Amino acid sequence: MILEIKDLMKSFPKKKGEMVAIADFDLDVEEGEFVCILGPSGCGKTTILRIIAGLESQTRGRILLNGKEISGPGSDRGMVFQEFALFPWRTVRRNVEFGLELKGVPPEERRERTQKFIELVGLNGFEDYHPYQLSGGMKQRVGIARALANEPAILLMDEPFGALDAQTRNLMQKELLRIWSETRKTVIFITHSVDEALFLADRIVVMTARPSEIGQIYEIKWPRPRDRASPEFAALRKQILEQLESMVKIEE
């Protein structure tokens, strides 16, 4: 196991008492696995990702990465946000190498490593472009390259394609699978889209409404690339959607 989440709980203070966002969340993730987490809006999916990233602290529980407890941010975790979060004054190359600069990697090595990941995400030839010159899909490729350039043990992705149009989103899903197949990074991917989760994941973790815990885990053993129009795809999509809809009704 590369990632172990044990008895995770997160609460927020209220005027009277506290609001429990996440309760009793336990999950083990194998190295190289692609895991999607989805659930009703406001169930704490992003909060879990931010706790893994070390950007928020849990109220209770432990998270171990390669056997070491996470206590804050670290270069062993790469984060890709829904907002592109690029520096507008930096070129593609300088955005990708930002983390390497912070780590004090020498310029020649930095440039070599940066170029490797720019080519991996299909942006060779765009090294000197600024973010305003790029499409949404290209900007997210820069974000993925920047996260990978630090060579993290795990890649954390918070609805990275949520701001893209449907056609670009489908293209980026295919591109992400290509990149994942080449790097074999462990991926934790947050999404609202059942279709996206079924297309990408080895396992889908469906969370309940708040206070959130794991409602069910689906292991997807279908070969890739997956056919979104296949009967088994449609059947499981319907099953998960119905499960999510029933949670929303309970919450309301």
189: part of which helix (H) or strand (E)? strand 186-190
Q: Is the pLDDT of residue 6 over 50?
A: yes
What does the pLDDT look like over 200-226, one tens digit per residue?
999 999 999 888 899 999 999 999 999
The pLDDT value recorded for residue 15 is 79
- Could you check whether the bond before residue 107 is cis, i.e. omega within 30 degrees of 0? no
CA gap 248, 97 in Å, rounded: 42
pLDDT classification of 251: cutoffs 50, 70, 90: very low
Total-model pTM? 0.93
Average pLDDT over every residue of 47-64: 94
38: part of which helix (H) or strand (E)? strand 34-38
Q: Where in the chain is the domain with CATH 3.40.50.300?
A: 3-76+157-251
Q: Which of 122, 114, 235, 125 shows the shortest CA–CA distance to 171?
A: 122
| CATH class of residue range 3-76+157-251 | alpha beta
Q: What is the mean pLDDT of the chain?
A: 93
